[in-house]
Structure 1
Amino acid sequence: MPTRLLDLTANSLVALYFACKHKEKTEGEVLVLDIPNDQVKFYDSDTVTLLANIARRPKEFDVAALPADKDGFNNDTEVGKLLHDIRSDKSAFRNIIVPSDLRRVVAVRTRLDNARIARQEGAFLLFGADGSKSKPAKVPDDWLVCGTATQRIIFSNKHKLKRELLSFGVSEQSLFPELESQAAAIVARYQNKYARKKK
Protein backbone atom coordinates (compact mmCIF):
# COMPACT_ATOMS: atom_id res chain seq x y z
CA MET A 1 0.00 0.00 0.00
CA PRO A 2 1.43 3.43 -0.89
CA THR A 3 2.33 5.49 2.18
CA ARG A 4 4.11 8.75 3.05
CA LEU A 5 6.23 6.87 5.61
CA LEU A 6 9.47 4.93 5.27
CA ASP A 7 10.70 2.80 8.19
CA LEU A 8 14.10 3.49 9.74
CA THR A 9 16.00 2.00 12.64
CA ALA A 10 18.70 3.45 14.87
CA ASN A 11 20.23 -0.04 15.26
CA SER A 12 22.58 -1.21 12.49
CA LEU A 13 22.02 -4.90 13.34
CA VAL A 14 18.26 -4.46 12.98
CA ALA A 15 18.83 -2.77 9.60
CA LEU A 16 21.00 -5.70 8.52
CA TYR A 17 18.30 -8.17 9.62
CA PHE A 18 15.62 -6.45 7.52
CA ALA A 19 17.97 -6.31 4.53
CA CYS A 20 18.34 -10.11 4.86
CA LYS A 21 14.71 -10.93 5.67
CA HIS A 22 13.36 -11.63 2.17
CA LYS A 23 14.61 -13.00 -1.15
CA GLU A 24 17.60 -14.91 0.19
CA LYS A 25 19.04 -15.50 -3.29
CA THR A 26 19.29 -11.80 -4.13
CA GLU A 27 21.75 -9.20 -2.85
CA GLY A 28 20.86 -7.04 0.13
CA GLU A 29 21.86 -3.49 0.90
CA VAL A 30 21.89 -1.29 3.99
CA LEU A 31 21.59 2.48 3.56
CA VAL A 32 23.07 4.74 6.24
CA LEU A 33 21.60 8.19 6.86
CA ASP A 34 23.02 11.02 8.96
CA ILE A 35 19.96 13.18 9.63
CA PRO A 36 20.58 16.64 11.13
CA ASN A 37 19.05 17.07 14.59
CA ASP A 38 16.85 19.97 13.45
CA GLN A 39 15.23 17.62 10.90
CA VAL A 40 14.25 15.07 13.57
CA LYS A 41 10.77 15.70 14.98
CA PHE A 42 8.67 14.05 17.63
CA TYR A 43 5.39 12.38 16.62
CA ASP A 44 3.31 15.26 18.03
CA SER A 45 5.14 18.17 16.37
CA ASP A 46 3.25 20.66 14.17
CA THR A 47 5.46 19.84 11.17
CA VAL A 48 4.62 16.14 11.46
CA THR A 49 0.91 16.94 11.73
CA LEU A 50 1.12 19.16 8.65
CA LEU A 51 2.94 16.59 6.51
CA ALA A 52 0.77 13.69 7.70
CA ASN A 53 -2.39 15.53 6.68
CA ILE A 54 -1.29 15.80 3.04
CA ALA A 55 -2.59 12.22 2.83
CA ARG A 56 -6.14 13.46 3.52
CA ARG A 57 -6.17 15.81 0.56
CA PRO A 58 -7.50 14.55 -2.79
CA LYS A 59 -5.01 13.13 -5.29
CA GLU A 60 -5.26 16.33 -7.35
CA PHE A 61 -3.75 18.34 -4.47
CA ASP A 62 -0.73 20.12 -5.98
CA VAL A 63 1.72 22.02 -3.78
CA ALA A 64 3.34 23.61 -6.87
CA ALA A 65 0.03 25.25 -7.85
CA LEU A 66 -0.32 27.03 -4.48
CA PRO A 67 0.81 30.67 -4.05
CA ALA A 68 4.52 30.94 -3.15
CA ASP A 69 4.23 33.94 -0.79
CA LYS A 70 3.27 33.21 2.81
CA ASP A 71 0.19 35.48 2.96
CA GLY A 72 -1.25 34.35 -0.38
CA PHE A 73 -0.51 30.74 0.52
CA ASN A 74 -2.28 30.92 3.89
CA ASN A 75 -5.35 32.62 2.33
CA ASP A 76 -5.68 30.01 -0.45
CA THR A 77 -8.86 27.86 -0.47
CA GLU A 78 -6.94 24.56 -0.80
CA VAL A 79 -4.69 25.48 2.12
CA GLY A 80 -7.83 26.31 4.10
CA LYS A 81 -9.10 22.77 3.48
CA LEU A 82 -5.74 21.38 4.56
CA LEU A 83 -5.95 23.46 7.75
CA HIS A 84 -9.43 22.07 8.39
CA ASP A 85 -8.01 18.53 8.19
CA ILE A 86 -5.10 19.45 10.47
CA ARG A 87 -7.43 20.95 13.08
CA SER A 88 -9.40 17.72 13.30
CA ASP A 89 -6.15 16.25 14.72
CA LYS A 90 -4.87 19.33 16.51
CA SER A 91 -7.51 21.94 17.30
CA ALA A 92 -4.96 24.52 18.51
CA PHE A 93 -2.96 24.47 15.25
CA ARG A 94 -2.36 28.08 14.16
CA ASN A 95 -3.46 29.03 10.67
CA ILE A 96 0.04 30.02 9.60
CA ILE A 97 1.90 27.52 7.41
CA VAL A 98 5.34 28.10 5.94
CA PRO A 99 4.85 27.04 2.28
CA SER A 100 8.24 25.29 2.02
CA ASP A 101 7.29 22.98 4.92
CA LEU A 102 4.97 21.03 2.59
CA ARG A 103 8.03 20.02 0.50
CA ARG A 104 10.11 18.72 3.41
CA VAL A 105 11.22 15.29 4.50
CA VAL A 106 11.53 14.86 8.27
CA ALA A 107 12.56 11.99 10.52
CA VAL A 108 9.88 11.17 13.08
CA ARG A 109 10.60 9.76 16.52
CA THR A 110 7.58 7.79 17.63
CA ARG A 111 6.06 7.08 20.99
CA LEU A 112 7.69 3.94 22.36
CA ASP A 113 4.38 2.51 23.57
CA ASN A 114 4.44 -0.18 20.86
CA ALA A 115 6.62 -3.18 21.74
CA ARG A 116 7.53 -3.85 18.10
CA ILE A 117 8.74 -0.29 17.44
CA ALA A 118 10.65 -0.26 20.74
CA ARG A 119 12.44 -3.55 19.97
CA GLN A 120 13.24 -2.47 16.43
CA GLU A 121 14.45 0.95 17.67
CA GLY A 122 12.18 2.31 14.98
CA ALA A 123 11.60 5.73 13.52
CA PHE A 124 10.18 6.93 10.20
CA LEU A 125 10.88 9.30 7.37
CA LEU A 126 7.76 11.33 6.61
CA PHE A 127 7.63 12.76 3.09
CA GLY A 128 6.06 15.99 1.99
CA ALA A 129 5.09 16.57 -1.66
CA ASP A 130 7.36 17.59 -4.52
CA GLY A 131 4.66 19.33 -6.52
CA SER A 132 1.72 16.93 -6.79
CA LYS A 133 0.57 14.88 -3.82
CA SER A 134 1.61 11.62 -5.52
CA LYS A 135 5.23 12.78 -6.00
CA PRO A 136 7.16 12.57 -2.70
CA ALA A 137 9.72 15.15 -1.63
CA LYS A 138 13.33 14.06 -2.04
CA VAL A 139 15.64 13.06 0.80
CA PRO A 140 18.48 15.62 0.83
CA ASP A 141 21.65 14.20 -0.74
CA ASP A 142 23.82 15.18 2.22
CA TRP A 143 21.80 12.87 4.53
CA LEU A 144 22.98 9.76 2.68
CA VAL A 145 26.29 8.51 4.08
CA CYS A 146 26.26 4.99 2.56
CA GLY A 147 24.12 4.16 -0.44
CA THR A 148 25.68 6.53 -2.94
CA ALA A 149 27.45 5.56 -6.15
CA THR A 150 30.83 5.55 -4.34
CA GLN A 151 29.95 4.05 -0.94
CA ARG A 152 27.61 1.09 -0.58
CA ILE A 153 27.06 -1.78 1.87
CA ILE A 154 26.01 -4.75 -0.28
CA PHE A 155 26.04 -8.43 0.69
CA SER A 156 24.79 -11.73 -0.69
CA ASN A 157 24.95 -14.52 1.92
CA LYS A 158 21.70 -13.60 3.69
CA HIS A 159 21.09 -17.01 5.27
CA LYS A 160 24.51 -17.04 6.96
CA LEU A 161 24.12 -13.42 8.12
CA LYS A 162 20.74 -14.21 9.70
CA ARG A 163 22.34 -17.07 11.65
CA GLU A 164 25.10 -14.73 12.86
CA LEU A 165 22.56 -12.06 13.81
CA LEU A 166 20.76 -14.68 15.91
CA SER A 167 23.89 -14.97 18.08
CA PHE A 168 23.50 -11.22 18.79
CA GLY A 169 19.85 -11.73 19.75
CA VAL A 170 18.48 -10.22 16.53
CA SER A 171 15.81 -12.46 15.02
CA GLU A 172 12.16 -12.66 14.00
CA GLN A 173 11.27 -13.56 17.58
CA SER A 174 13.16 -10.67 19.17
CA LEU A 175 11.91 -8.01 16.71
CA PHE A 176 8.27 -9.12 16.39
CA PRO A 177 6.94 -9.72 19.93
CA GLU A 178 3.34 -10.45 18.88
CA LEU A 179 2.13 -13.99 19.65
CA GLU A 180 1.38 -14.75 15.99
CA SER A 181 4.95 -13.87 14.97
CA GLN A 182 6.42 -15.84 17.86
CA ALA A 183 4.44 -18.95 16.88
CA ALA A 184 5.38 -18.60 13.18
CA ALA A 185 9.10 -18.33 14.08
CA ILE A 186 8.95 -21.47 16.26
CA VAL A 187 7.15 -23.44 13.53
CA ALA A 188 9.68 -22.29 10.89
CA ARG A 189 12.63 -23.27 13.10
CA TYR A 190 11.31 -26.82 13.59
CA GLN A 191 10.33 -27.18 9.93
CA ASN A 192 13.89 -26.23 8.92
CA LYS A 193 15.37 -28.65 11.47
CA TYR A 194 13.12 -31.48 10.24
CA ALA A 195 13.95 -30.73 6.59
CA ARG A 196 17.69 -30.89 7.31
CA LYS A 197 17.36 -34.26 9.11
CA LYS A 198 15.33 -35.68 6.23
CA LYS A 199 18.13 -34.93 3.75
Structure 2
Amino acid sequence: MDLAEFITKIEGVGISDGLENYFRGHSDYTFKLEPSVYRNGLITSEDKIFKEAIIRTPYEFQHHKSTCEKLVKMQHYGIPTRLLDITSNPLVALYFACNEYPEKDGEVVFFQVPANFIKYYDSDSVSALSNLARQKANFECDFTKMSIRKFNRQTHMGFLHHSIKEEKPYYQEIIHPADLESVFVVKAMFDNARIINQQGLFMLFGIRSNKNFSATVPIEWVLNMMRPEVNFKIPAKDKLKILAQLEVNGIGESTLFPEIEYQGSHLKQKYAKVK
Protein backbone atom coordinates (compact mmCIF):
# COMPACT_ATOMS: atom_id res chain seq x y z
CA MET A 1 0.00 0.00 0.00
CA ASP A 2 1.05 3.60 -0.54
CA LEU A 3 -0.45 7.01 0.28
CA ALA A 4 -2.33 7.31 -3.02
CA GLU A 5 -3.97 3.91 -2.57
CA PHE A 6 -5.00 4.77 0.99
CA ILE A 7 -6.59 8.05 -0.11
CA THR A 8 -8.47 6.27 -2.89
CA LYS A 9 -9.91 3.78 -0.38
CA ILE A 10 -10.96 6.54 2.01
CA GLU A 11 -12.60 8.55 -0.77
CA GLY A 12 -14.49 5.46 -1.88
CA VAL A 13 -16.28 5.20 1.46
CA GLY A 14 -17.85 8.65 1.31
CA ILE A 15 -20.08 10.31 3.91
CA SER A 16 -23.39 8.97 5.20
CA ASP A 17 -26.33 11.11 6.28
CA GLY A 18 -26.56 11.52 10.06
CA LEU A 19 -23.07 10.10 10.62
CA GLU A 20 -19.68 11.75 11.09
CA ASN A 21 -16.39 10.17 10.01
CA TYR A 22 -13.50 9.81 12.46
CA PHE A 23 -10.25 7.86 12.45
CA ARG A 24 -7.66 6.32 14.74
CA GLY A 25 -4.28 4.91 13.81
CA HIS A 26 -2.95 1.73 15.45
CA SER A 27 0.71 0.96 14.80
CA ASP A 28 -0.10 -2.65 15.71
CA TYR A 29 -3.38 -3.83 14.20
CA THR A 30 -4.02 -6.10 17.22
CA PHE A 31 -4.44 -3.10 19.54
CA LYS A 32 -7.85 -2.86 21.17
CA LEU A 33 -10.19 0.12 21.24
CA GLU A 34 -9.85 0.76 24.95
CA PRO A 35 -8.65 3.79 26.94
CA SER A 36 -5.27 3.62 28.67
CA VAL A 37 -6.68 3.62 32.21
CA TYR A 38 -8.29 0.25 31.44
CA ARG A 39 -4.94 -1.35 30.66
CA ASN A 40 -2.59 -3.12 33.07
CA GLY A 41 -5.00 -2.92 36.01
CA LEU A 42 -4.73 0.88 36.25
CA ILE A 43 -8.51 1.30 36.57
CA THR A 44 -8.39 0.32 40.25
CA SER A 45 -6.32 3.47 40.89
CA GLU A 46 -8.03 5.87 38.48
CA ASP A 47 -9.16 8.31 41.18
CA LYS A 48 -5.67 8.34 42.70
CA ILE A 49 -4.00 8.89 39.31
CA PHE A 50 -6.35 11.83 38.68
CA LYS A 51 -5.62 13.46 42.05
CA GLU A 52 -1.88 12.79 41.96
CA ALA A 53 -1.54 14.40 38.54
CA ILE A 54 -3.13 17.59 39.85
CA ILE A 55 -1.21 17.55 43.15
CA ARG A 56 2.13 17.17 41.37
CA THR A 57 1.54 19.84 38.69
CA PRO A 58 -1.23 22.17 39.95
CA TYR A 59 -0.06 25.02 37.71
CA GLU A 60 -0.98 22.93 34.65
CA PHE A 61 -4.62 22.76 35.73
CA GLN A 62 -5.25 26.15 37.30
CA HIS A 63 -7.21 27.43 34.28
CA HIS A 64 -9.17 24.22 33.68
CA LYS A 65 -12.58 24.33 35.33
CA SER A 66 -14.15 21.03 34.32
CA THR A 67 -13.03 17.46 34.84
CA CYS A 68 -13.24 16.91 31.09
CA GLU A 69 -10.73 19.71 30.47
CA LYS A 70 -8.40 18.21 33.07
CA LEU A 71 -8.64 14.77 31.50
CA VAL A 72 -7.76 16.24 28.11
CA LYS A 73 -4.69 17.90 29.64
CA MET A 74 -3.68 14.60 31.29
CA GLN A 75 -4.15 12.72 28.03
CA HIS A 76 -1.90 15.28 26.32
CA TYR A 77 0.94 14.38 28.70
CA GLY A 78 0.44 10.62 28.57
CA ILE A 79 -1.29 10.19 31.92
CA PRO A 80 -3.74 7.24 31.78
CA THR A 81 -7.35 8.42 31.35
CA ARG A 82 -10.72 7.15 30.14
CA LEU A 83 -10.21 9.07 26.90
CA LEU A 84 -9.11 7.61 23.57
CA ASP A 85 -7.57 9.90 20.94
CA ILE A 86 -9.21 10.05 17.52
CA THR A 87 -8.97 12.50 14.63
CA SER A 88 -11.12 13.91 11.85
CA ASN A 89 -8.14 13.70 9.46
CA PRO A 90 -7.47 10.24 7.96
CA LEU A 91 -3.87 11.18 7.07
CA VAL A 92 -3.12 11.95 10.72
CA ALA A 93 -4.48 8.51 11.64
CA LEU A 94 -2.34 6.97 8.89
CA TYR A 95 0.76 8.59 10.38
CA PHE A 96 0.04 7.02 13.78
CA ALA A 97 -0.59 3.66 12.12
CA CYS A 98 2.95 3.80 10.68
CA ASN A 99 5.16 5.66 13.16
CA GLU A 100 5.91 2.80 15.57
CA TYR A 101 6.48 -0.96 15.54
CA PRO A 102 8.04 -1.15 12.05
CA GLU A 103 7.94 -4.96 12.22
CA LYS A 104 4.16 -5.11 12.76
CA ASP A 105 1.21 -4.43 10.48
CA GLY A 106 -0.69 -1.29 11.40
CA GLU A 107 -4.28 -0.26 10.90
CA VAL A 108 -6.43 2.82 10.46
CA VAL A 109 -9.71 2.34 12.30
CA PHE A 110 -12.53 4.15 10.54
CA PHE A 111 -15.53 5.20 12.62
CA GLN A 112 -18.92 6.44 11.45
CA VAL A 113 -20.55 7.92 14.54
CA PRO A 114 -24.25 8.90 14.86
CA ALA A 115 -24.75 12.60 15.61
CA ASN A 116 -26.49 11.93 18.95
CA PHE A 117 -23.30 10.36 20.31
CA ILE A 118 -21.20 13.42 19.49
CA LYS A 119 -21.02 15.90 22.37
CA TYR A 120 -19.34 19.20 23.15
CA TYR A 121 -17.00 19.58 26.12
CA ASP A 122 -19.67 21.30 28.28
CA SER A 123 -22.37 18.64 27.83
CA ASP A 124 -23.95 17.22 31.01
CA SER A 125 -23.41 13.73 29.61
CA VAL A 126 -19.71 14.50 29.19
CA SER A 127 -19.56 15.83 32.76
CA ALA A 128 -21.12 12.60 34.05
CA LEU A 129 -18.68 10.28 32.26
CA SER A 130 -15.67 12.49 32.96
CA ASN A 131 -16.36 12.57 36.68
CA LEU A 132 -16.31 8.80 36.84
CA ALA A 133 -12.55 9.37 36.93
CA ARG A 134 -12.91 10.91 40.39
CA GLN A 135 -14.92 8.04 41.87
CA LYS A 136 -13.38 5.34 44.01
CA ALA A 137 -12.54 1.92 42.62
CA ASN A 138 -15.65 0.35 44.19
CA PHE A 139 -18.06 2.65 42.33
CA GLU A 140 -20.99 0.68 41.00
CA CYS A 141 -24.65 1.09 40.16
CA ASP A 142 -27.56 -1.11 39.17
CA PHE A 143 -28.45 -0.75 35.49
CA THR A 144 -31.44 -3.09 35.59
CA LYS A 145 -34.78 -1.63 34.62
CA MET A 146 -35.91 0.99 37.09
CA SER A 147 -37.12 4.56 36.96
CA ILE A 148 -34.56 7.26 36.22
CA ARG A 149 -35.38 8.80 39.59
CA LYS A 150 -34.63 5.56 41.43
CA PHE A 151 -31.47 4.99 39.38
CA ASN A 152 -30.13 8.39 40.40
CA ARG A 153 -30.87 7.78 44.09
CA GLN A 154 -28.42 4.89 44.38
CA THR A 155 -25.69 5.50 46.94
CA HIS A 156 -22.73 5.70 44.57
CA MET A 157 -24.67 7.85 42.14
CA GLY A 158 -24.90 10.41 44.93
CA PHE A 159 -21.10 10.64 45.00
CA LEU A 160 -21.03 11.14 41.23
CA HIS A 161 -23.68 13.87 41.42
CA HIS A 162 -21.63 15.65 44.08
CA SER A 163 -18.54 15.66 41.84
CA ILE A 164 -20.52 17.05 38.90
CA LYS A 165 -22.08 19.82 40.99
CA GLU A 166 -18.61 21.06 41.95
CA GLU A 167 -18.14 22.18 38.34
CA LYS A 168 -21.83 22.77 37.52
CA PRO A 169 -23.71 24.18 40.53
CA TYR A 170 -26.93 24.31 38.48
CA TYR A 171 -26.77 20.60 37.65
CA GLN A 172 -30.12 18.86 38.28
CA GLU A 173 -28.74 15.49 39.50
CA ILE A 174 -30.28 13.49 36.67
CA ILE A 175 -28.21 11.02 34.67
CA HIS A 176 -29.84 8.66 32.19
CA PRO A 177 -28.58 5.08 32.72
CA ALA A 178 -27.91 4.69 28.98
CA ASP A 179 -25.54 7.67 29.05
CA LEU A 180 -23.42 6.17 31.82
CA GLU A 181 -23.02 2.98 29.75
CA SER A 182 -22.12 4.86 26.56
CA VAL A 183 -19.09 5.94 24.60
CA PHE A 184 -19.27 9.52 23.34
CA VAL A 185 -17.15 11.43 20.87
CA VAL A 186 -16.17 14.67 22.61
CA LYS A 187 -15.33 17.87 20.81
CA ALA A 188 -12.94 19.43 23.30
CA MET A 189 -11.62 22.97 23.24
CA PHE A 190 -8.65 23.52 20.94
CA ASP A 191 -6.48 24.84 23.77
CA ASN A 192 -3.12 23.54 22.58
CA ALA A 193 -1.31 23.39 19.27
CA ARG A 194 -1.12 19.60 19.21
CA ILE A 195 -4.90 19.14 19.24
CA ILE A 196 -5.21 21.76 16.51
CA ASN A 197 -2.52 20.25 14.28
CA GLN A 198 -3.77 16.70 14.79
CA GLN A 199 -7.42 17.77 14.33
CA GLY A 200 -7.99 15.84 17.50
CA LEU A 201 -11.10 14.69 19.29
CA PHE A 202 -11.65 12.09 21.99
CA MET A 203 -13.78 9.11 22.72
CA LEU A 204 -14.95 9.22 26.34
CA PHE A 205 -15.81 5.84 27.86
CA GLY A 206 -18.52 5.08 30.39
CA ILE A 207 -18.86 1.91 32.43
CA ARG A 208 -20.76 -1.37 32.61
CA SER A 209 -22.18 -2.06 36.08
CA ASN A 210 -19.03 -0.85 37.84
CA LYS A 211 -15.72 0.90 37.16
CA ASN A 212 -13.86 -2.32 36.49
CA PHE A 213 -15.68 -2.79 33.21
CA SER A 214 -15.45 -0.21 30.47
CA ALA A 215 -18.21 0.60 28.03
CA THR A 216 -17.31 -0.58 24.54
CA VAL A 217 -17.34 1.12 21.15
CA PRO A 218 -20.47 -0.08 19.30
CA ILE A 219 -19.39 -2.46 16.56
CA GLU A 220 -21.66 -0.73 14.05
CA TRP A 221 -19.53 2.43 14.38
CA VAL A 222 -16.42 0.67 13.09
CA LEU A 223 -16.64 0.61 9.33
CA ASN A 224 -13.76 -1.88 9.06
CA MET A 225 -15.88 -4.43 10.95
CA MET A 226 -19.20 -3.74 9.25
CA ARG A 227 -17.73 -3.62 5.74
CA PRO A 228 -15.07 -6.37 5.48
CA GLU A 229 -14.26 -5.36 1.91
CA VAL A 230 -12.96 -2.04 3.24
CA ASN A 231 -9.54 -3.01 4.59
CA PHE A 232 -7.42 -0.32 6.23
CA LYS A 233 -4.62 -2.61 7.41
CA ILE A 234 -1.15 -1.17 6.70
CA PRO A 235 1.50 -3.79 5.86
CA ALA A 236 4.65 -3.43 7.95
CA LYS A 237 6.81 -3.39 4.82
CA ASP A 238 5.05 -0.22 3.61
CA LYS A 239 5.28 1.87 6.78
CA LEU A 240 8.53 3.73 6.07
CA LYS A 241 7.48 4.49 2.50
CA ILE A 242 4.13 5.89 3.66
CA LEU A 243 5.79 8.00 6.38
CA ALA A 244 8.06 9.53 3.75
CA GLN A 245 5.07 10.27 1.51
CA LEU A 246 3.17 11.84 4.40
CA GLU A 247 6.18 14.02 5.29
CA VAL A 248 6.22 15.42 1.75
CA ASN A 249 2.55 16.29 2.23
CA GLY A 250 3.06 18.09 5.53
CA ILE A 251 2.12 15.27 7.91
CA GLY A 252 4.98 14.32 10.21
CA GLU A 253 6.46 14.62 13.69
CA SER A 254 7.35 18.29 13.28
CA THR A 255 3.77 19.27 12.38
CA LEU A 256 1.78 16.89 14.58
CA PHE A 257 3.95 17.47 17.67
CA PRO A 258 4.74 21.20 17.70
CA GLU A 259 6.27 21.18 21.21
CA ILE A 260 9.92 22.16 21.31
CA GLU A 261 11.21 18.76 22.46
CA TYR A 262 9.74 17.14 19.35
CA GLN A 263 11.15 19.88 17.14
CA GLY A 264 14.58 19.02 18.49
CA SER A 265 14.11 15.36 17.62
CA HIS A 266 12.93 16.25 14.12
CA LEU A 267 15.86 18.61 13.45
CA LYS A 268 18.43 16.05 14.58
CA GLN A 269 16.98 13.47 12.22
CA LYS A 270 16.72 15.93 9.36
CA TYR A 271 20.29 17.25 9.52
CA ALA A 272 22.19 14.23 10.83
CA LYS A 273 24.99 13.24 8.48
CA VAL A 274 24.79 9.57 7.59
CA LYS A 275 28.27 8.05 7.32
TM-score using structure 1 length: 0.91
Instruction: Report the alpha carbon displacement of residue 36 of structure 1 after superposing the two structures with TM.
Output: 0.9
8 A Cα contact 1:63 1:133, kept in partner: no
The one of 88, 108, 123 aligned to 2:166: 88
Larger radius of gyration: 1
For the 8 Å contact 1:20–1:159, the answer to whether it is kept is yes
What is the SS of the residue equivalent to 1:30?
strand
Q: Which residue of 1 aligns with 2:239?
A: 158
Q: CA deviation at 1:66?
A: 7.7
Could you tell me which runs of 5 or more consecutive residues in structure 2 were left unpaired when the two chains were aligned.
Answer: 1-35, 38-80
1:178 matched residue in structure 2? 259
**2:123 matched residue in structure 1:** 45
Name the amino acid aligned to 2:252. Answer: S
Offset, 1:59: 1.0
CA contact (8 A) 1:43 1:110 kept: yes
Equivalent residues, number: 194
Q: Give SS of 1:59's match.
A: coil
Tell me what 2:75 maps to: none
2:95 is aligned with what amino acid?
Answer: Y
The answer as to whether partners of 1:31 and 1:152 remain within 8 angstroms in 2 is no
Give SS of 1:73's match. Answer: helix
Match for 1:16 among 86, 90, 94?
94
Alpha-carbon separation, structure 2, partners of 1:104 and 1:95: 18
Say which SS state the counterpart of residue 18 (structure 1) adopts.
helix
What's 2:178 paired with?
A: 100
Percent of paired sites with the same residue:
38
2:197 and 2:255 in contact (8 A); partners too: yes
Q: List per-residue Cα deviations over 1:28-77 (Å, max 9, x = no partner).
A: 10000001111110011111000001111111112347883212112222
Q: Which residue of 1 aligns with 2:137?
A: 59
1:27 to 105, 124, 128: 105
Greater mean alpha carbon deviation, residues 32-41 or residues 72-81 = 72-81
Runs of 4+ with >4 A deviation: none
Q: Which amino acid aligns with 2:239?
A: K
Distance in 2 between the 1:74 and 1:25 partners?
A: 49
Which residues of 2 match residues 95-174 of structure 1 at below 5 A?
Answer: 95-147=173-225, 150=228, 151-156=230-235, 157-174=238-255
Q: Deviation per CA, 1:73-109, whole angstroms, max 9, x where unpaired?
A: 1222211111001111222111122122110110001
Residue 134 of structure 1 aligns to a residue whose secondary structure is: strand
For 2:145 and 2:172, the matched residues in 1 are separated by: 19
